[in-house]
Amino acid sequence: MEKMKNADRLIVALDVNTVSEVGELTEKIGENVIWYKVGMELFYAEGPKVIELLKQKNKKIFLDLKFHDIPNTVAGAVKSVAKLGVDMCNVHASGGLEMMKRAADANLEIANKLQCTPTKLIAVTVLTSIDQEIFEKELGFESRISDKVSAWAKMAKDAGLNGVVASAQEAEGIKEKCGDDFLIVTPGIRPSFSASNDQKRIMRPFDALAKGATHLVIGRPITQSESPGESAELVLKEMEG
C-alpha cells in the first residue's frame, strides 16, 4: 500500500449537532484537515445537509452510523448512504458474515450503477469504550478482546470489506491476519495535551501509527479546544513523532 501522508490519515470527529456548527468548526480548523467523521447524533439531527456541506468544502467524509441489522436491511442502508457520495461508512462485524457480504455487494452495486469509486466499507469490531472486564462480565465473552477483534477483522476481509474500526492496541494482530492493504481506523486516540474522557483502550497518535493504524479518529481534543486549528496542527505533529 502506498504510504499515506498524515493529513490523509487524520479523521476529525464532528461532535456537534447542527450544520451551522459544522461550518464554523471546519472554518476554524482550516485546510490541514481533509477527513471528517459524521456520527449518529449529527446525521440524525441534520441528515444529508451535513454531507452536502462537507462535499462543497471538498472534504472526505466518514459516515459513522454503525449499521447492525438483518442482512437485507443493512444492504439497503449501505446503498442509501453510498448514493450520498460519502467516502467511508461502517457496519458492525458482530452482525455476521452474511450481513457483511450483502453490505459489500450492495456497495459495489451502487458504485457500478453510478460509475464512481466505491465507498470504503469497514466493520466495527469492539468499541474502544469497552475494556476486558466489561467484555467478559457484561458482554459475556470468554476470549481476550484482541483475539475477538482479529477474528472479526478476518471475517470482515473474507466478506469483501475494506477494513475495520478497532483500537490501535489490536492493530498489529489485525495486520498479521489481514495484510497491509486492510484499513485499520482507530478511535480512542488521545494526544499528549488531552484527557481520556470515556475511552478505555487509548493510545497516542504516533504510537498508534507505529502499531499499524491507517487512520486516526480524534474528536474532542480538537473540536472542543479553544483553538481547533492549532490543536489539529499539534496532532499532526504528534503523528510525526
Question: 64 an active-site residue?
Answer: yes
CA 120 to each of CA 89, 91, 160: distance values in angstroms, whole numbers, following the listed order: 6, 11, 11
Instruction: Select which of 64, 148, 157, 175 is catalytic.
Output: 64
Cβ atoms of 164 and 88 within 8 Å: the answer is no
Whether the CA torsion 71, 74, 76, 78 is positive or negative: it is negative
According to the annotation, is 71 in a ligand binding site?
Answer: yes
Our answer to whether residue 237 is catalytic in this structure is: no
* 64 among annotated binding-site residues: yes
68 is in an annotated binding site: yes
Distance from the Cα of residue 198 to its chain's centroid: 17
Annotated binding-site residue? 220:
yes
H-helix or E-strand containing 102? helix 97-114
Catalytic residue, candidates 28, 59, 60, 69 = 69
The answer to whether 198 is a known ligand-binding residue is: no
Catalytic pick among 28, 55, 60, 66? 66
Q: Is 3 annotated as a binding residue?
A: no
179 known member of a binding site: no
Does 177 appear as a known binding residue?
no
15 is in an annotated binding site: yes
With a CB cutoff of 8 Å and minimum separation 6, the contacts of 95 are: 67, 68, 69, 71, 74
44 DSSP assignment: H
87 is catalytic: no
For 6, what's the count of Cα atoms within 13 Å in the CB-facing half-sphere?
A: 16
Cα separations in angstroms, 62 against 87, 99, 137, 147, 217:
6, 20, 32, 26, 10
Task: Find out whether 141 is annotated in a ligand binding site.
Answer: no
> Does 128 show up as a binding residue in the annotation?
yes
Q: DSSP readout, 104-134?
A: HHHHHHHHHHHTSPPPEEEEE-S-TT--HHH
219 is in an annotated binding site: yes
Numbered residues of the known binding site: 15, 37, 64-73, 128, 190, 199, 219-220
Question: Which residues participate in catalysis according to the annotation?
Answer: 64, 66, 69
Numbered residues of the known binding site for substrate: 15, 37, 64-73, 128, 190, 199, 219-220
